[in-house]
Every structure is written in structure tokens, then in C-alpha cells.
């Protein structure tokens, strides 16, 4: 008799928790993968595709599913790689040799003398930073340009050029002093 | 010297430094000569740059607005003298980067003619809001060095009740004496300005804090207070310890209260303003004059004559040095600000700005030795007036660990330079903190920009998808319509069958051909008519 009570009680408890879990999984269901969002938030959003994926989000998805390493983002540089290693709890990796430590920020500009108004660059721009219409001159909205350079290859007359972002007194950064810090010797 | 009866407190750390002020206070304030060219940077304050109101070729009068405050945290700039705008270009500004910024160049006409001023004789009849507006129009910024727009600072909001207004005349940094001389020579203006700010923020009482190495200034201000029988304004003599003049340090000394790490003095019922700012407020309200000049200390071993000058904003520094007898032959470095917090300038062909309180010319003897490794002596932590751990900040800043430096409260560092001064290894600690601060700000800007780019990219993706869907939908509808038509046609054919073999398509073609025929015949008749008229 006692054994029956025990089995029944346990079965009841199991059923109760099962229902509770089932309810929670419906009630607190999360759309999409939150880790992808977190990775995507770290990536620089240039949508340049230099990592080999179609944009920042696809790269984030690839990292999340373990298909890609964390050191493939040249515009993000070391900072992004370290932030990713911190977030995902993986060992930091060296950047590819060709990628500089601190990537120089650039934007592009259109040589308006040469532009023929073909709209190819407008179609290539991932952030709608190019203004223009067919057979009308195009121009780059500099404040919106992420420097991904995706507009350069489609241009049939090579009128899009890269220039570094201008440093203003407001955005200037103090350099790290030359003095190399060394930890004091023990003893 | 009569000391005050008020009880004072101490802030943590600090240094007793040789003041080196006597050399520049022996001579009275002289007015700098009117320069031929005035270069006025549009951005001389914390916040957004003003919006330009003048263009090249415009004639301007002294006090005319050149650029208007563009947003809430912004300040206007005014023509310091009358003349003609000859250039609006990017020109070098006094900034540690040595970079250029948009500046208005005025060629002065020597007449120094004012615009029409509207002085206020009875400011107490106006509301604080109206007076704040006057301060805003006058382009006043904090003249102690930070150059934060004063109109914003005195607008403490409805919930913050200001109990004490502190007027900062401590001037703790060695070598600088412009506030000292200002208090000696413009004592009644200082007191008037104090009264005005006190009225604007409705502070119960006002304390003017002055370090005990400026007895003349104390006496001058006390004389005015006694003469006017003011009961709510009090001069408090504070001990000379660097950096007593820091906002948070001064509050601690006077009230034993500490400003919260991420808060403002107004959170604890205190507002601090510099004495120079008080005079500027007096001039703006009582005389209607905007902020177009300031007092600058020219001092140091490397300059012939150390003194204080009243200088128009935009005057080239080279002319001030020239009017001070020029450089000594062993002059090595030109520093803007004092020896502790100032920075070295690459050239003296730079304009004086609203924040420029001192030009210090040091001589060759003051060479800095190479930095040695940190020996973990902890001297820096002992003197830090913000009670930080400079050593930890140094390690983490040098290894670019920007999360940790913020955990160690990097942004509470006031960059006073005490840690630098005592460091036996001569490590340029403050430069590490400045490096870390600007890097963190830069990362923040990048983050904002990438968030913005993400939103734009997602919008674009959405738009492309929508357009594709719309196109597909259109195509589908067209196909459907066509299919329907075909069915309908087939149906009509079937029902009407052989009885009427007038295909609607055929009928349409026939109608069109008929129309063409009609047109042709009409043309023929017309041309024949023309012919006949010509013949006639």
C-alpha cells in the first residue's frame, strides 16, 4: 500500500512539474538566439563582408554556431576580438597578420566630376548612405558612411575614393605614453 | 590677517607647492593692445559649437554675435572688437592635439565701436529665468578652466534646492594669479556678480573661498561687503593646499560634504562658480556686455616681465608675449594653464580663448627625466585628492583594460597632477588617464555609430524585402487578372458561340483602323484646302 502511495505521489509531482515546465517554455519563449544578438551588438556593423560572411549578423550567427572564429573582423580589430572572447569565454586569438592592430577609420567620397549616375553604388551600399538617382549625380552622406568600401567595386568609372575620417579636437585621442610599464620585480 | 571663525575640513591628500605667484602680482593689470587680427574659434566651450551668423566680408561691431548657441549645452561667441570678417577657416586652436578648428578672423578697424548695449539697472525686478537668458546670450562659460556654459550650470532644475553658492577664488594652481588680481581690482564687480548668481539660483548664502596666500584679495572683497552691509555673502579664507580649487575638494573643505561619484554638486545643495565667471555675469547683466575679454597671467622663468593682462578673446598669444618684453633666451616651453594641469603648446601663433587663464613660459632647466618602472611605493594614492588608486589606474590604463579602469573610477580623476608630481619614478601618470579617457569616449562614439548603422542596415533589408514582396504580389495579381480574362473570354465565346463572331479584339482593331482612315482623309482635305488657298 505504502509503495503505491509513494509511486502515486511521485507521479503526481512529476506531472505537476512537467506541466509547469511546459507552461514556462510557452510563456517565456525567446524568439531567435539571444547570443547572436549579443555578438551582433559587439560587431562594428560595417556590413563589409571581409569576414567572409554576407554581413555582421550572418557572421554573428556563424560565431554562435561555432562555424567561424572570432578573429575575422578587420574593421573591429583587436578591441572587437577581445570583446568577443570576453563574451563567449573563449581564448583570445591573434588577428590575421594582414589586419592592423588599430584599423584606421575611413569613409568614401564620390568624385562628382566623373560620376555618371548609374546607381550601382546605391544598390551596393548596405546602410543607404548614398544619395542620388538614375542619371543624376550621386553623393555620399559622410555621417552615415561606415567605410565598408562595398560601393567601390561596382562603380564602372572608378569615381569612388577612400579618405580617412577627419580627426577634430573633440574626437582626438591622447596617445599612450612611450614609457613602457614593467611590473616591479618581486623580492 | 583676520581669519574666519568658520570651521573648515580637509580633503584627502593634496600637496603644498611653492606658489610662484608673487612675480606676477607686483604689477597692476595692463590692458593688452588691440591686435590687428583677432582669431575667434567657434568652439571654446564644452558642448556643441554655435551656429555661425556672419560671413566673410561682413562688418561687425564690438559685442556683435558671431555664432549663436545652437543647442542647450552650447555658448555664443561675440566679436571682441569692431572690424571686418576677413576669413572663416579652420585655424590652429590651443588644444593638446595641435589641431585646427573653425574660426572667425576679424580684421580690427581700431575704432573699437560697441553695438548698442542694454544694461539692466534693476536686475532684481527680472525673474531668474530672464537673467539666465541674459547669461546665455552673453556667451558666458566657466572661466576657471573647464569652460562649461554657465547658463546651463546655474539652471539647477526645480528639484535641486541650492543652499550654498560657493564662489571659487581659491586659485590653487601655482604661478597663476589672474583670479587674485581680478579680486583685488574688480572687488565690487565680483560681489555684484555673486549677488546676481545667488539671486538666480536662490541660494541662501554665498561663500567666497580664497586661499590664505591672497590677503590683498580677501581684504578688498571684505571691504566691499562691509561697505554694502551684505549679510549673506561671506569671504572664507582656506588653507593653501593644492588642489583646494577643485570643485569637489572646495566643497569638502567648506562643508565636509562629498559630491557623489556620478552626481553634481547641486545634488547636495551646492553650486560652485569661479570669481571670473561672477564678474562676467555682472558685466552681462548690469552692463549688457557679452564675454569678449578675460584676464590672463603671463608668467614663468622664460618671459621677461611676468604680469596680468586684460586680453580680448582672439588675441594672438605671440603679441601678449611681445607686450611682456618677449622671451628670455633660455625659454624652452610655452604652457597654457599652470604647471600642474596645463599642456604644452607647439607654437605661440594661437588665439587666447575663454578658457585660457595663464601662459607659462618655462625655461630649459625644467627638463623631465625619463620615466622609470613603478616601484609600488603608493605615494600617488596618498596624495590623490579624489581618493582613487592611481597605481591601479596606471596598470590597467597601460594594458588597455578599459573596463577595469572604469571600475577603479577613472572618471572621478580630476587630472590635478598630484600623482605625477610625487611619483619617484617620474611616470607621466595623468597622461595614461587622459589616454584611457579619450579611448573610452572613442569606443562609446563607435558603439553609437555601429548601433546607428545596424538600424539603417536592418531598415534597408526590410525595405528590400518589402519591395520584393510588392513586386511579386503585383506580378501575381497581373497573372491572375490575365487568367481571369482568358476564362471570361472563353466563357463568352462559348455562350455567345457562333451567333456573333465579333471578337472584341478584332472589333478593337477594326475601330482603330477606322480612326486612322478618318484621320488620313481629314489630313488630305486639309492639305488640299491649303493648296487651294495658296493658289488663290
Q: How far is A36 from chain B (nearest CA, A)?
A: 14
Contacts of B156 (CB under 8 A, 6+ apart): B162, B201, B266, B271
Which residues from B are below 8 Å from A174, CB to CB? 96, 431, 434-435, 437-438
Report the distance separating Cα A44 and Cα B175, nearest Å: 47
Name which of B420, B388, B423 is nearest B407 in CA terms. Answer: B388
Report the distance separating Cα A99 and Cα A51, nearest Å: 11
- Rg of chain B over CA atoms, in angstroms? 36
Nearest by CB to A167, from B99, B374, B437: name it.
B99
Q: Residue B530: its pLDDT value, please?
A: 55
| Whether A32 contacts chain B with CB within 8 A | no
Q: Residue B532: its pLDDT value, please?
A: 54
| CB–CB contacts below 8 A, A to B | 91
Indicate the helix (H) or strand (E) that contains B270. Answer: strand B270-274
Contacts of A149 (CB under 8 A, 6+ apart): A48, A106, A108, A162
Contact check, Cβ <8 Å, A184/B375:
yes
Q: Residue B180: its pLDDT value, please?
A: 95
Name which of B70, B66, B65, B260 is nearest B149 in CA terms. Answer: B70
Contact check, Cβ <8 Å, B97/A172:
yes
- φ/ψ (deg, to 5) at B331: -60, 130
* 8 A C-beta contact, residue B79 and residue B88: no
Contact check, Cβ <8 Å, B453/A182:
no
Percent of chain A with pLDDT over 90: 41
* pLDDT exceeds 90 at position B124: no
Report the distance separating Cα B454 and Cα B371, nearest Å: 44
Question: B238: buried, middle or exposed (CB in 10 Å: 19+, 13-18, 0-12)?
Answer: buried
The distance of Cα B325 from the centroid of its chain, to the nearest Å, equals 33
Cell of B287: 552692463
Q: How far is A139 from chain B (nearest CA, A)?
A: 17
Contact check, Cβ <8 Å, A176/B437:
no
* Tens digit of each residue's pLDDT (9 = 90 or more) over A129-173: 999 999 898 999 999 999 888 999 999 999 999 999 989 898 999
Q: How far is B55 from chain A (nearest CA, A)?
A: 22
Contact check, Cβ <8 Å, A184/B374:
yes
Q: Residue B496: its pLDDT value, please?
A: 63
* pLDDT exceeds 80 at position A97: no
Alpha helices in B335-428 (DSSP H): 379-383, 390-398, 402-407, 418-422
Most confident of A105-109, B78-82, B522-526: B78-82
Range from A115-124, B379-388, B512-521 carrying the lowest mean pLDDT: B512-521
Which residues from B are below 8 Å from A176, CB to CB? 398, 400, 432, 435
* 8 A C-beta contact, residue B378 and residue B391: yes
Residue A30 vs residue B385, higher pLDDT: B385
* 8 A C-beta contact, residue B265 and residue B247: yes
Which residues from A are below 8 Å from B99, CB to CB? 167-169, 172
Q: How far is A95 from chain B (nearest CA, A)?
A: 17
* Tens digit of each residue's pLDDT (9 = 90 or more) over B158-200: 777 899 999 999 999 999 999 999 999 999 999 999 999 999 9
Q: Identify the three-state secondary structure at position A7.
A: helix
Q: Which of the residues A148, A173, A178, A182 would you substitute to probe the B interface, choosing the one with the greatest number of B C-beta atoms within 10 Å?
A: A173
Nearest by CB to B460, from A128, A146, A179: name it.
A128
Q: In chain B, which residues touch A (CB < 8 A)?
A: 43, 93, 95-97, 99, 101, 370-371, 373-376, 394-395, 398-400, 427-428, 431-432, 434-435, 437-439, 442-443, 445-446, 449-454, 456-457, 459-460
Nearest 5°: the CA angle B377, B405, B436 is: 100
How do B83-92 and B307-312 pair as beta strands? unpaired
HSE of B177, CA atoms in CB hemisphere, 13 A: 27
Model confidence, pTM: 0.83
Range from A150-164, B98-112, B361-375, B376-390 carrying the lowest mean pLDDT: B361-375
Nearest by CB to A146, from B370, B434, B453: name it.
B453
The distance of Cα B386 from the centroid of its chain, to the nearest Å, equals 24
Nearest by CB to A177, from B373, B374, B428: name it.
B428
Give the mean pLDDT of B248-261.
94
Most confident of A3-12, A39-48, B118-127: A3-12
Query: With bands split at pLDDT 50, 70 and 90, how would you rate the model's confidence at B531?
Result: low
Query: With bands split at pLDDT 50, 70 and 90, how would you rate the model's confidence at B536?
Result: very low
Question: How many CB atoms within 10 Å of residue B86?
Answer: 14
Q: How far is B48 from chain A (nearest CA, A)?
A: 10
Q: What is the DSSP string of B198-209?
A: HHHTT-SEEEEE
Cell numbers 487578372: residue: B481
Cell of B524: 488630305
* Tens digit of each residue's pLDDT (9 = 90 or more) over B239-254: 999 999 999 999 999 9
Amino acid at each position: 500500500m505504502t509503495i503505491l502511495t509513494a509511486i502515486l505521489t511521485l507521479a503526481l509531482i512529476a506531472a505537476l512539474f512537467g506541466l509547469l515546465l511546459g507552461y514556462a517554455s510557452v510563456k517565456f519563449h525567446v524568439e531567435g538566439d539571444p547570443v547572436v544578438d549579443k555578438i551582433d551588438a559587439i560587431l562594428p556593423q560595417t556590413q563589409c563582408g571581409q569576414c567572409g560572411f554576407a554581413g555582421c549578423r550572418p557572421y554573428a550567427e556563424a560565431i554562435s554556431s561555432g562555424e567561424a572564429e572570432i578573429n575575422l573582423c578587420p574593421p573591429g580589430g583587436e578591441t572587437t576580438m577581445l570583446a568577443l572572447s570576453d563574451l563567449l569565454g573563449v581564448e583570445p586569438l591573434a588577428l590575421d597578420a594582414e589586419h592592423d592592430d588599430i584599423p584606421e577609420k575611413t569613409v568614401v567620397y564620390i568624385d562628382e566630376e566623373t560620376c555618371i549616375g548609374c546607381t550601382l553604388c546605391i544598390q551596393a551600399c548596405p546602410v543607404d548612405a548614398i544619395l542620388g538617382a538614375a542619371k543624376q549625380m550621386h553623393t555620399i552622406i559622410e555621417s552615415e558612411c561606415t567605410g565598408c568600401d562595398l560601393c567601390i567595386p561596382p562603380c564602372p568609372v572608378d569615381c569612388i575614393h577612400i579618405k580617412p575620417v577627419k580627426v577634430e579636437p573633440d574626437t582626438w585621442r591622447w596617445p599612450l605614453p612611450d614609457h613602457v610599464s614593467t611590473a616591479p620585480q618581486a623580492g | 590677517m583676520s581669519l574666519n571663525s568658520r570651521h573648515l575640513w580637509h580633503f584627502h591628500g593634496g600637496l603644498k607647492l611653492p606658489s610662484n605667484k608673487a612675480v606676477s602680482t607686483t604689477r597692476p593689470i595692463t590692458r593688452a593692445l588691440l591686435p590687428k587680427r583677432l582669431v575667434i574659434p567657434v568652439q571654446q566651450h564644452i558642448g556643441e559649437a554655435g551656429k555661425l551668423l556672419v560671413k566673410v566680408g561682413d562688418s561687425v561691431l564690438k559685442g556683435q554675435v558671431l555664432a549663436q548657441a545652437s543647442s542647450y549645452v552650447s555658448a555664443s561667441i561675440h566679436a571682441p572688437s569692431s572690424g571686418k570678417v576677413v576669413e572663416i577657416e579652420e585655424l590652429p586652436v590651443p588644444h593638446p592635439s595641435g589641431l585646427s578648428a573653425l574660426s572667425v578672423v576679424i580684421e580690427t578697424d581700431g575704432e573699437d565701436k560697441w553695438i548698442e548695449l542694454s544694461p539692466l539697472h534693476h536686475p532684481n525686478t527680472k525673474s531668474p529665468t530672464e537673467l539666465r537668458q541674459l547669461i546665455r546670450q552673453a556667451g558666458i562659460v566657466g572661466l576657471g578652466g573647464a569652460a562649461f556654459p554657465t547658463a546651463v550650470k546655474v539652471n539647477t532644475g526645480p528639484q535641486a534646492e541650492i543652499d550654498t553658492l560657493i564662489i571659487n577664488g581659491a586659485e590653487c594652481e601655482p604661478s597663476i594669479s589672474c583670479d587674485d588680481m581680478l579680486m583685488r581690482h574688480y572687488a565690487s564687480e565680483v560681489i555684484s556678480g555673486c549677488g546676481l548668481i545667488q539671486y538666480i539660483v536662490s541660494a541662501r548664502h554665498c561663500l567666497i573661498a580664497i586661499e590664505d596666500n591672497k590677503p590683498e584679495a580677501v581684504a578688498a572683497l571684505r571691504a566691499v561687503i562691509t561697505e554694502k552691509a551684505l549679510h549673506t555673502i561671506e569671504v572664507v579664507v582656506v588653507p593653501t593646499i593644492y588642489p583646494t580649487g577643485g570643485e569637489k575638494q572646495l566643497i569638502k573643505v567648506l562643508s565636509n560634504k562629498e559630491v557623489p561619484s556620478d552626481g553634481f554638486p547641486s545634488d547636495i545643495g551646492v553650486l560652485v562658480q569661479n570669481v571670473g565667471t561672477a564678474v562676467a555675469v555682472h558685466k552681462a547683466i548690469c552692463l549688457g556686455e557679452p564675454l569678449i575679454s578675460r584676464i590672463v597671467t603671463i608668467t614663468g622663468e622664460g618671459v621677461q616681465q611676468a604680469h596680468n593682462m586684460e586680453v580680448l578673446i582672439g588675441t594672438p598669444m605671440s603679441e601678449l608675449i611681445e607686450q611682456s618684453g618677449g622671451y628670455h633666451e633660455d625659454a624652452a616651453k610655452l604652457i597654457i594653464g599652470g604647471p600642474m594641469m596645463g599642456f604644452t603648446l607647439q607654437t605661440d601663433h594661437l588665439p587666447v580663448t575663454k578658457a585660457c587663464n595663464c601662459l607659462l613660459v618655462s625655461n630649459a632647466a625644467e627638463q623631465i627625466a625619463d620615466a622609470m618602472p613603478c616601484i609600488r611605493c603608493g605615494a600617488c594614492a596618498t596624495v590623490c585628492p579624489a581618493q582613487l588608486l592611481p597605481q591601479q589606474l596606471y596598470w590597467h590604463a597601460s594594458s588597455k583594460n578599459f573596463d577595469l579602469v572604469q571600475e577603479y573610477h577613472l572618471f572621478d580623476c580630476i587630472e590635478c597632477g598630484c600623482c605625477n608630481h610625487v611619483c619617484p619614478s617620474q611616470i607621466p601618470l595623468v597622461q595614461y588617464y587622459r589616454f584611457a579617457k579619450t579611448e573610452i569616449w572613442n569606443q562609446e562614439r563607435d558603439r553609437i555609430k555601429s548601433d546607428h548603422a545596424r538600424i539603417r542596415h536592418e531598415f534597408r533589408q526590410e525595405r528590400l524585402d518589402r519591395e520584393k514582396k510588392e513586386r511579386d504580389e503585383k506580378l501575381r495579381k497581373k497573372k491572375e487578372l490575365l487568367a481571369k480574362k482568358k476564362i471570361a473570354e472563353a466563357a463568352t465565346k462559348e455562350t455567345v458561340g457562333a451567333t456573333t463572331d465579333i471578337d472584341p479584339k478584332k472589333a478593337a482593331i477594326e475601330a482603330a483602323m477606322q480612326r486612322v482612315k478618318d484621320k488620313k482623309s481629314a489630313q488630305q482635305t486639309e492639305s488640299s484646302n491649303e493648296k487651294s488657298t495658296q493658289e488663290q
